[in-house]
Amino acid sequence: MMAAITARRLGAQVTILERNARVGKKLLATGNGRCNYTNINIGISCYHGANPGFARYALTHFTVEDALAFFKKLGIEPKVEEEGKVFPMSEQASSVLDVMRYELEESGVNTVCEALVKSIEPSKEGFLVEIDNGQVYKADRVILAAGGKAMPASGSDGRGYDLAQQLGHRTTDIFPALVQIMLEGPNFKRIEGVKINGTAEIIHNNRSVAIDRGDILFANYGVSGPPILQLSRKAAELLRDMQEVYLKINMLDSMSKEELLGLLTRRLQNAGAKTIEFSLVGLINKRLIPVVLMEAGIEKLKRRAVDMKAREIDELTRILTDWRFKIRGTKGWNSAQVTAGGVDISEIDPDTMESRLIPGLYFCGEMIDIDGKCGGYNLQWAWSSGFVAGQSAAL
Ligand SMILES: Cc1cc2nc3c(=O)[nH]c(=O)nc-3n(C[C@H](O)[C@H](O)[C@H](O)COP(=O)(O)OP(=O)(O)OC[C@H]3O[C@@H](n4cnc5c(N)ncnc54)[C@H](O)[C@@H]3O)c2cc1C
């Protein structure tokens, strides 16, 4: 949509071929229905792929300020929230889609829906694009913006990669990213739905290789929540390479381990007639208490807390600050917010988004081997790369 609007504004005749009944379905699901459409703290370090530097030109050519101004002109007032995330003031993802669709129509882009592109063939006079009902469209230039494979029900189900490959482009391995993590452990059913605010780390070869903090939600398969989504890419990458990976959770990260040990010792000494189990009420979520004590190897929870041994208090401190789980996988494409991997960037010119193999063919968005962190970075990449592709294709 961004590429189409940009090219049209520069005078090109533009047709969008969209397989769904309407364009932009995925946008409606973004930001929990509020569309986190950019982030004011953007930087190249927020992106992943074989070479994230590939994204630099587009992101500096169509910046966050440009995106804010573009959407403001269309009617979207920005609302900046924590960590620089930007949402429409209306709090509705549908507003972003509504104004884009309005602009497509106003600017004279021809939008053809229920048109699944089956093949794109370079010809002497440009390209022949065939859709599923057999109709063929002729084009001087083609921008391939078919998205990745995350949330296939939105229409982007990975077929864009087949089209790129048909045209001779290489694609790297793809895997779901910004996705929930599945853990090994017998107790997840008991703590399903419990939310804690803490730190999560990916541990590989006993070293921390990625860390994030925020709300962590226990689920029957493992964990979800913003820090988990951020860490999922690293976990998936290591699992793909057949590595053993662990998740470490520190649920009381506002104090050091020593401070917590001191606090626990004092609490337990002053617990009077309270049981071990009851002595933790007010410190951690009640539903976590029996599970955490079990993990710490502490039995007979109805014993008096004052009778706890130093070794048991040490072990409890460890579980509360360094609870480790073996990662057995990540959830799949239906749950993922973005695709890691995609069309090989060495075959695309980053300054124009044009194919280095086929003149007149352009790429943009999630289908390229660039993916961003959670927080508005993926849509900004879609806007920036779409703008550059639209501009280059129209000139
Ligand atoms: C649940 C969820 C929440 C998200 N939240 C955010 C967020 O808040 N902020 C953020 O920055 N990012 C978010 N993302 C990621 C972001 O939505 C995507 O990275 C972005 O939409 C990618 O844009 P795109 O144009 O490249 O692809 P898409 O938005 O996937 O669009 C591709 C379009 O191509 C169409 N298509 C595919 N193949 C064909 C074909 N063969 N013929 C015709 N049409 C075809 C599809 O139907 C689709 O409409 C979220 C993703 C999900 C799944």
The DSSP string of 320-365 is HH-EEEEEEEE--TTT-SEEE--B-GGGB-TTT-BBSSSTTEEE-G
Judged against a pLDDT cut of 90, whether residue 228 lies above it is answered with yes
> For residue 300, what pLDDT is reported?
85
Determine the CATH number of domain 179-252.
2.40.30.10
Phi-psi region of 231 (alpha: psi -120 to 50; beta: other; left: phi over 0): alpha
Judged against a pLDDT cut of 90, whether residue 131 lies above it is answered with yes
Question: How wide is the angle at C-alpha 144 spanned by C-alphas 368 and 34, nearest 5°?
Answer: 70
User: Could you identify the residue written with the tokens 């506002």?
Assistant: 254
Can you list the positions of beta strands (E) in 142-294?
Answer: 142-144, 175-177, 181-183, 195-204, 207-219, 222-224, 245-250
Ligand 1, atom 4, lies closest to the CA of 30
Residue type, 266: R
pLDDT digits (tens, 9 = 90+) for 302-347: 899 999 999 999 999 999 999 999 999 999 999 999 999 999 999 9
From 333, 348, 378, the mutation candidate for ligand 1 (largest count of ligand atoms within 8 A of CB) is 378
Q: Under CATH, what is the fold of the domain 257-321? A: Helicase, Ruva Protein; domain 3 (1.10.8)
The answer to whether the CB of 378 is under 6 A from ligand 1 is yes
Nearest atom in ligand 1 to 39's CA: 11
From 1, 379, 383, 384, the mutation candidate for ligand 1 (largest count of ligand atoms within 8 A of CB) is 379
What's the mean pLDDT in 63-82?
A: 98
pLDDT digits (tens, 9 = 90+) for 186-202: 899 999 999 999 999 99
Nearest atom in ligand 1 to 131's CA: 42
Distance 264 CA to ligand 1 centre (A): 48
Question: How wide is the angle at C-alpha 246 spanned by C-alphas 240 and 251, nearest 5°?
Answer: 140
The answer to whether the CB of 381 is under 6 A from ligand 1 is no
Rg of the chain, C-alpha, whole Å = 25
SS3 371: strand
The answer to whether the CB of 147 is under 6 A from ligand 1 is yes
Provide the terminal-to-terminal Cα distance of the chain, rounded to the nearest Å: 18
Q: What is the percent of the chain with per-residue pLDDT over 70, rounded to a whole number?
A: 100
Name the maximum alpha-carbon separation found in the chain: 88
Q: Report the chain's mean pLDDT, rounded to a whole number.
A: 97
Q: Please state the domain extents for the chain.
A: 2-176+333-394, 179-252, 257-321
Strand partners, 119: 130
d(Cα 219, Cα 224) in Å, to the nearest integer? Answer: 7
User: Could you identify the residue written with the tokens 């010119």?
Assistant: 349
| Residues written for the chain | 395
> For residue 299, what pLDDT is reported?
84
Distance 153 CA to ligand 1 centre (A): 10
pLDDT digits (tens, 9 = 90+) for 343-374: 999 999 999 999 999 999 999 999 999 999 99
What's the mean pLDDT in 251-269?
A: 96
Distance 334 CA to ligand 1 centre (A): 13
The answer to whether the CB of 7 is under 6 A from ligand 1 is no
The answer to whether the CB of 343 is under 6 A from ligand 1 is no
Judged against a pLDDT cut of 90, whether residue 394 lies above it is answered with yes
pLDDT digits (tens, 9 = 90+) for 6-50: 999 999 999 999 999 999 999 999 999 999 999 999 999 999 999
Ligand 1, atom 3, lies closest to the CA of 30
Ligand 1, atom 6, lies closest to the CA of 30
Judged against a pLDDT cut of 90, whether residue 59 lies above it is answered with yes
- C-beta contacts of 322-325 below 8 A and 24+ residues apart: 322/248, 322/250, 322/257, 323/248, 323/249, 323/250, 323/251, 323/292, 323/295, 324/203, 324/246, 324/247, 324/248, 324/249, 325/183, 325/184, 325/185, 325/222, 325/246, 325/247, 325/249
What's the mean pLDDT in 276-296?
A: 96
d(Cα 320, Cα 197) in Å, to the nearest integer? Answer: 12
The answer to whether the CB of 234 is under 6 A from ligand 1 is no
CATH of the structural domain 2-176+333-394, one choice from 3.50.50.60, 3.40.50.620, 3.40.50.1000, 1.20.1600.10: 3.50.50.60
- What is the secondary structure of 40-87 as a DSSP string? TT--GGGEESS-GGGGHHHHHHS-HHHHHHHHHHHT--EEE-GGGEEE
The answer to whether the CB of 100 is under 6 A from ligand 1 is no
pLDDT digits (tens, 9 = 90+) for 78-114: 999 999 999 999 999 999 999 999 999 999 999 999 9
Measured in degrees and rounded to the nearest 5, phi and psi for residue 128 equal: -115, 120
d(Cα 262, Cα 328) in Å, to the nearest integer? Answer: 35
Nearest atom in ligand 1 to 115's CA: 43
Nearest atom in ligand 1 to 365's CA: 26
The answer to whether the CB of 390 is under 6 A from ligand 1 is no
Q: Is the dihedral of CA 269, 248, 374, 62 positive or negative?
A: positive
Alpha-carbon distance values, 138 to 7, 113, 125, 142, 347 (Å): 17, 17, 8, 10, 24
Nearest atom in ligand 1 to 336's CA: 53
Distance 33 CA to ligand 1 centre (A): 14
Tell me the pLDDT band of 230, cut-offs 50, 70 and 90.
very high
What's the mean pLDDT in 173-194?
A: 96
Residue 158, token pair as written in the block: 């990975």
Ligand 1, atom 26, lies closest to the CA of 365
Distance 149 CA to ligand 1 centre (A): 9
Distance 73 CA to ligand 1 centre (A): 23
What's the mean pLDDT in 226-248?
A: 97
